[in-house]
Amino acid sequence: MNFFYNAYFLKTQQPIAKVQEKLPQPEQIPNSDWIVCDFGDSYVDGTFEEDTYLTQELSEEFGEVIFIAIDTSNDQLDYEHSLDGVILRKLSWLSDGCESTWMCVEGEIEEWERTSIFSLDNLNRTKEMIRYDRHLQLLPSAEMEIKEQELQNIWQSPQYILNSQLPLGDATLGMVIQQHFFDITE
């Protein structure tokens, strides 16, 4: 099953009526300081464009703002996190029609990235993937050792390689982000 959605999440001292002047359908997330807005499958202009910022201006007025868009049919993720007009993090995992790669990485790594993208499980999954060439033939052991050392360096840094699949990602990271910040994935 494929799905697409995008939403804004705000942590603000402003009343919901003020938020509603800028964003549709604001709702308080139960047991949370966060408000979710415009959650659904309506497309927000600028989504999946690595050079477009969707939270910076809003955060100047409202404080902390997160934007998440996922499209599992094309394996795409757009994530942006701002505070008081400053971009804290922007990650774009975008598809060129053939494969998805990291197209934008800005700001400082966040805790959810350390426990998901740079996890030992994801490292092991990546090691399994790189064992094969594009014809699905096992690589020679000397070549594998070099690739595994490159992976170790990526995970130790931790770092993203632009226009590459390393470290492995996918569209479902949007749900990981939600679980980390506001637990609304159920």
134 pLDDT band (50/70/90 cuts)?
A: confident
Q: What mean pLDDT do residues 136-151 have?
A: 91
Residue 185 has pLDDT above 90, yes or no: no
Q: Which helix (H) or strand (E) holds 128?
A: helix 120-129
- Say how many C-beta atoms besides its own lie within 10 A of residue 141's C-beta: 7
For the stretch 86-114, pLDDT in tens is 999 999 999 998 999 999 999 999 999 99
41 pLDDT band (50/70/90 cuts)?
A: confident
Phi first, then psi, for residue 121 (nearest 5°) are -60, -45
All structural domains of the chain with their residue ranges: 4-108+162-181, 119-157
Contact 80, 58 (CB under 8 A): no
Q: What mean pLDDT do residues 125-151 have?
A: 90
Q: What is the pTM of this model?
A: 0.92
Contact 170, 93 (CB under 8 A): yes
pLDDT at 184: 56
pLDDT at 2: 85
**Angle between helical axes of 141-156 and 120-129 (0-180°, round to 10):** 150
Q: Look at 184 and 24; give whichever has higher pLDDT.
A: 24
Q: What mean pLDDT do residues 19-47 have?
A: 92
Average pLDDT over all residues of the chain: 93
186 pLDDT band (50/70/90 cuts)?
A: very low
